Structure 1
């Protein structure tokens, strides 16, 4: 979820590299918000730079086009969501695997609820952004699946009879969670945070079924 970065006031408050980094951060935030508000096809570079309050030359100093900016915003936001999940699961590191699973799913849903623009842009509008973004989405899903695979190893340690899921089963479980979340996000009125709490139980149940082999 890209964070807004504001420049401090005063002469020479930031170096050239710091100004560039601040502008990049504002552009990533702006492209996320514009796509959420307008839809990916109707969002233009002009919309992005107007919201970010940067020049066109500043935009093209960091990004080749709208798709490049959107792709980089998606990567940054995806890393932040994965970090959030990792942190929440680490907080219950000594707990049984089912509790750790529940903590991870809750963090996944919280990430979307707390960043509505991120949710719309990267769960709904991303599908209109072309093959590059779809491939990038697949890579993110695979990273989530690898995290679930590590949890499956813990489950097997706690219960030697536990099912050892295949890569396709793990990706399928992650994809099911994404599909359920996307449906709720798509049906949420514009400007409102999605209410994803009711998805906690079914997503946990799907994951438990894959990890436990039930």
Structure 2
């Protein structure tokens, strides 16, 4: 998995930079969004996306548009919101208590999102709510996530017409290392300690209007990098 994550990030960032569409930092950010869209595999090889319960609490952040700047703003909001939510629910075990805590944090999360947006130089309005949010059917490999309304904290930026990012806030099946976008299992010895926000990433490329989208990325550059990787580390 590590090999695939590295190759995908390198290949996509090199391509986006090479064609002049993004500068290097923007290209890496876009590549990380593609990489983190892969199914989450725990360190013991377990596909933790199979274990998402029906009463899981999700976070959904919808960008103003698909413009690269708006998508970056979405990620900036994401990074701080998941840390803030994690701080709110840290130490809580009971589902009802966590649900109530997140629901009561809506005004605070809305203010935080608005603050981030303003600090980045934008004047977009932001709307934050908590409740049953519609999600489309999604398929990753042989795993199907059925359409339906799922309990979620939702943040809509501006016109909320862009691609969105969503994850599972609770239960804390895994967490994301924001430095590289990798999803890893939460070690037992980390329980109770301050750590990145516990989330299970299962999709980052949903359509904001709820329609199902299927995206497949295949690159000759990835294949070539894979060959180089095998030669170097074989």
**TM range, normalised to the smaller chain?**
under 0.3
Higher strand share: 2
Compute the TM-score of the two structures, normalised by the length of structure 2: 0.26
Higher helix share: 1
Compute the TM-score of the two structures, normalised by the length of structure 1: 0.28
The structure with the larger Rg is: 1
Instruction: Work out which structure has the larger RCO, using CA pairs closer than 8 Å and 6 or more positions apart in sequence.
Output: 2
